[in-house]
Chain A
Amino acid sequence: MSFHPQMPYGSGWHKSDRTFAEPGPPFAFTDEHRARFEEIAARYPPDWRKSAILAALYLVQEQQGWISGNSMRHVAEVIGCTAADVEDVVSYYVMYFTKPVGKYVLQVCRTLSCALLGAERVTSEIARALDIKVGETDTSGTFTLLEFECLGACDRAPVVMVNNEHWHECQRPEDVRQLLDGLRTKGVAALSGCHLVKER
């Protein structure tokens, strides 16, 4: 049953599962981000600014770290669509964070090829080392642990992606603490990258 979540129904029967996006702090693109958005939007026909919505949301995430209700409304204004259109998109794609996340979001591939080489253990070792469950952020706000579906680098399994962008390959479960310490001290420079092809 999906009725409006704020309507005062007496019984639990009419209760909707829907939750509103967290509003977050006030949001507007910086001039630089706005300019980059307009540059991307120019790649699509003038009537189809909405094609740039995924790019706009990445820019929000770059600026603020996550996507709040206020930022969705701002994106809607910039594009010229409704806030519901934006929420529709945000709620579908997995690379948008709808809650504040840690400084490093660890996205461990869990699908078959990585799982055959120990991805389950990588996830459980990270969870143990940080004392969190999948989907949670540690108390220091440094790490968020997520499981991701196939990242498309199956011969470098198990693969970990960090912050939607940086890759780390052949992660052995025994070396998880090394990875976490490396990120703490050296940042993303501690990651190995992804080498499907080794240069001669």
Chain B
Amino acid sequence: MEPILTKYVSEPNSYTLDFYTSHGGYQAVRKALGMTPDEIIDVTKKSGLRGRGGAGFPTGLKWSFLPKDNPKPKYLCVNADESEPGTFKDHVLLERNPHLLYEGCVIACRAIGAKVCYIYIRGEFSHMQRQMEDELAKAYAAGFVGKNILGSGTDCDIYIHRGAGAYEAGEETALIESLEGKRAQPRIKPPFPAVVGLYGCPTIVNNVETICNVPVIIEKGWEWFAAIGPEKNSGPKLYCVSGHVNKPGVFETSMDVTLRQLIYDFAGGIRGGKTLKAIIPGGSSTPVLTPEHLDVQASFDGLAKAGSMLGSAALIVMDETTSMVWVAMNLLHFYKHESCGKCTPCREGADWLFKILTKIERGEGRMRDVELLTSICNNIGGKTLCPFGDAEIAPVLSTIQHFRHEYEQYIREGHGPAQPEWRASEPVGAH
């Protein structure tokens, strides 16, 4: 499939307003200004666009949840807090194609009746913030953003808000809390943000890639968009491939692609002629798959059928030298560190899981620890306010499911497979 969102990203100056407008940019916004908000929502619904942040919720449907009779201002928040391990697709869009995002923001704001849009970028993306703000100022000056856009009487102000390093801020209610100047901790739902969100007002939170698809749908029509990829998984999708592959990177294709094509055709296969051992298909929060799943379709529904998730479409590829107990331990260090601390099962559970995994990895585990890990996981999953709890147990349960023999080897023999050269000989860091 010919790339759509990332078609020009490797062209020099692809991020500038001049480049964007000379390649057909800001045409969709003209068209959208001639449509009613309901028409925009309807077209988005028919296109089958599903949220690209992880959950895959239909975007048009989400927009239609906004109450029509609420007199309070409405807000659009763009989730650019991309921090799911393995994911860097929004990073590319923000850096190389920011005007596509701004155009999408203006159209989405018109659809939901918002006059203000906040783009929440993660704190680590400050190296792009200056460029994004410069380009935004140019879009303001050209009349594509701001008051009375292109003389239509429609207003839409866009502001960039920088976070400060918190994975949890990627959850929509936690993002809203963080925007309000508090700790990024999730809220109890309901009420959903569409009813009570930012500053107590109706709010829609969408991922960067989701919003970037909106101008494309408006410009080319929902029929064209829906025809890309398998049914119910329509539109272009950005895949991030990292880990032990020859050519890691972001690849845009339709969702009928298989994991095998992504790893061997797009990313050039496994490094150093080694063999594939395990794949994380959608960011670290999705269950690990094995080479037998290579022919699974990398779509929302295809991966769900295989017992995993598309998530943020971030493939982390691991070769034969990787110890799966170590993988679970590395990821649980992440979850233990990033747990916001609000719900006890997640906060305490992540720490317990990490401690037990560390013990097993050091060769000090007992056979019953494997059951203990499973039991702790089962007491976290579904028992937290946000999906973080389900995310943190995925690496543990799926590695036990597919690589139980490795856990047992650590426990029986006191050590795992031979340590690969890419690991440090002694433990690093303060655990």
Enumerate chain B residues within 8 angstroms of A165, measured Cβ to Cβ. Answer: 126-127
Across the A-B interface, how many residue pairs have beta carbons closer than 8 Å? 187
CA distance A153 to B82 in the complex (A): 10
CA distance A121 to B179 in the complex (A): 36
The answer to whether A51 touches B95, judged by C-beta atoms less than 8 angstroms apart, is no
The answer to whether A121 touches B123, judged by C-beta atoms less than 8 angstroms apart, is no
CA distance A200 to B9 in the complex (A): 9
Q: Which residue of B lies closest to A50 (CB)?
A: B181
Enumerate chain B residues within 8 angstroms of A115, measured Cβ to Cβ. Answer: 330, 422-423
The B-contacting residues of A in range 97-131, CB under 8 angstroms, are 110-113, 115-118, 120-121, 123-124, 127
Enumerate chain B residues within 8 angstroms of A54, measured Cβ to Cβ. Answer: 123, 161-164, 178, 181
Name the distance in Å between B133's Cβ and chain A's nearest Cβ: 11
Q: A112-B243, A154-B314 are in contact. Are A147 and B331 (CB under 8 A)?
A: no
- Please pick, from B85, B184, B314, the residue contacting A92 in the complex, using a CB distance under 8 A: B184
CA distance A182 to B232 in the complex (A): 51
The B-contacting residues of A in range 142-161, CB under 8 angstroms, are 147-155, 157, 161
The answer to whether A152 touches B87, judged by C-beta atoms less than 8 angstroms apart, is yes
Enumerate chain A residues within 8 angstroms of B12, measured Cβ to Cβ. Answer: 199-200
Does B84 make an interface contact (CB < 8 A)? yes
CA distance A152 to B208 in the complex (A): 14
Does B220 make an interface contact (CB < 8 A)? no
Does A33 make an interface contact (CB < 8 A)? no
Does A164 make an interface contact (CB < 8 A)? yes
- Please pick, from B92, B125, B424, the residue contacting A121 in the complex, using a CB distance under 8 A: B424
The answer to whether B123 touches A196, judged by C-beta atoms less than 8 angstroms apart, is no
CA distance A53 to B184 in the complex (A): 13
Does B370 make an interface contact (CB < 8 A)? no
Q: A54-B181, A155-B248, A194-B127 are in contact. Are A116 and B84 (CB under 8 A)?
A: no
Name the distance in Å between A115's Cβ and chain B's nearest Cβ: 5
Does A58 make an interface contact (CB < 8 A)? yes
The answer to whether A154 touches B429, judged by C-beta atoms less than 8 angstroms apart, is no
Does A48 make an interface contact (CB < 8 A)? yes
CA distance A18 to B159 in the complex (A): 36
The answer to whether A155 touches B250, judged by C-beta atoms less than 8 angstroms apart, is yes
- Please pick, from A121, A151, A197, the residue contacting B96 in the complex, using a CB distance under 8 A: A197
Name the distance in Å between A18's Cβ and chain B's nearest Cβ: 14
Name the distance in Å between B124's Cβ and chain A's nearest Cβ: 5
Q: Scoring A residues 184 to 200 as 1 if CB is less than 8 Å from chain B, else 0, what string do you get?
A: 00000000011011111
Does A133 make an interface contact (CB < 8 A)? yes
Enumerate chain A residues within 8 angstroms of B249, measured Cβ to Cβ. Answer: 155, 196
- Please pick, from B92, B123, B240, B327, the residue contacting A112 in the complex, using a CB distance under 8 A: B327
The answer to whether B424 touches A123, judged by C-beta atoms less than 8 angstroms apart, is yes
Q: A149-B334, A197-B92 are in contact. Are A89 and B181 (CB under 8 A)?
A: yes
Name the distance in Å between B282's Cβ and chain A's nearest Cβ: 13
CA distance A55 to B160 in the complex (A): 11
Enumerate chain A residues within 8 angstroms of B162, measured Cβ to Cβ. Answer: 54-55, 58
The answer to whether B91 touches A153, judged by C-beta atoms less than 8 angstroms apart, is yes
Name the distance in Å between B194's Cβ and chain A's nearest Cβ: 19
Enumerate chain A residues within 8 angstroms of B127, measured Cβ to Cβ. Answer: 165-167, 193-194
Q: A54-B164, A124-B426 are in contact. Are A88 and B199 (CB under 8 A)?
A: no
The answer to whether B199 touches A48, judged by C-beta atoms less than 8 angstroms apart, is yes
Enumerate chain A residues within 8 angstroms of B9, measured Cβ to Cβ. Answer: 197
CA distance A73 to B84 in the complex (A): 34
The answer to whether A92 touches B166, judged by C-beta atoms less than 8 angstroms apart, is yes
CA distance A112 to B422 in the complex (A): 12
The answer to whether B88 touches A196, judged by C-beta atoms less than 8 angstroms apart, is yes
Enumerate chain A residues within 8 angstroms of B179, measured Cβ to Cβ. Answer: 51
The answer to whether A196 touches B124, judged by C-beta atoms less than 8 angstroms apart, is no
Enumerate chain B residues within 8 angstroms of A200, measured Cβ to Cβ. Answer: 10-12
Q: Which residue of A lies closest to B95 (CB)?
A: A196
The answer to whether B429 touches A123, judged by C-beta atoms less than 8 angstroms apart, is yes
The answer to whether A154 touches B330, judged by C-beta atoms less than 8 angstroms apart, is no
Enumerate chain A residues within 8 angstroms of B330, measured Cβ to Cβ. Answer: 110-112, 115
CA distance A53 to B92 in the complex (A): 28
Q: Which residue of B lies closest to A166 (CB)?
A: B127
Does B260 make an interface contact (CB < 8 A)? no
Does B337 make an interface contact (CB < 8 A)? yes
Does A95 make an interface contact (CB < 8 A)? yes
Name the distance in Å between B111's Cβ and chain A's nearest Cβ: 22
The answer to whether A95 touches B92, judged by C-beta atoms less than 8 angstroms apart, is no
Q: Scoring B residues 311 to 336 as 1 if CB is less than 8 Å from chain A, else 0, what string do you get?
A: 00010101000100001001101100
The A-contacting residues of B in range 87-105, CB under 8 angstroms, are 87-88, 91-92, 95-96
The answer to whether A51 touches B161, judged by C-beta atoms less than 8 angstroms apart, is yes
CA distance A37 to B164 in the complex (A): 16
Given contacts A95-B165, A152-B122, A196-B92, 4 further A-B contacts (CB under 8 A): A43-B159, A48-B199, A112-B331, A113-B85
Sorted from nearest, which 10 A-B pairs have the closest CB atoms?
A50-B181, A155-B248, A93-B164, A154-B242, A94-B165, A120-B424, A95-B165, A53-B181, A150-B85, A113-B242
The residues of A with any CB-CB pair to B shorter than 8 Å are: 43, 45, 47-48, 50-55, 57-58, 79, 81, 88-89, 92-96, 110-113, 115-118, 120-121, 123-124, 127, 133-135, 147-155, 157, 161, 164-167, 193-194, 196-200
The residues of B with any CB-CB pair to A shorter than 8 Å are: 9-12, 82-88, 91-92, 95-96, 122-127, 159, 161-167, 178-184, 199, 240-244, 248-250, 280, 284, 314, 316, 318, 322, 327, 330-331, 333-334, 337-338, 340, 422-426, 428-430
12 contacts across the A-B interface (CB closer than 8 A): A50-B182, A58-B162, A111-B284, A112-B85, A113-B85, A150-B85, A152-B125, A154-B87, A164-B126, A167-B127, A196-B249, A199-B11
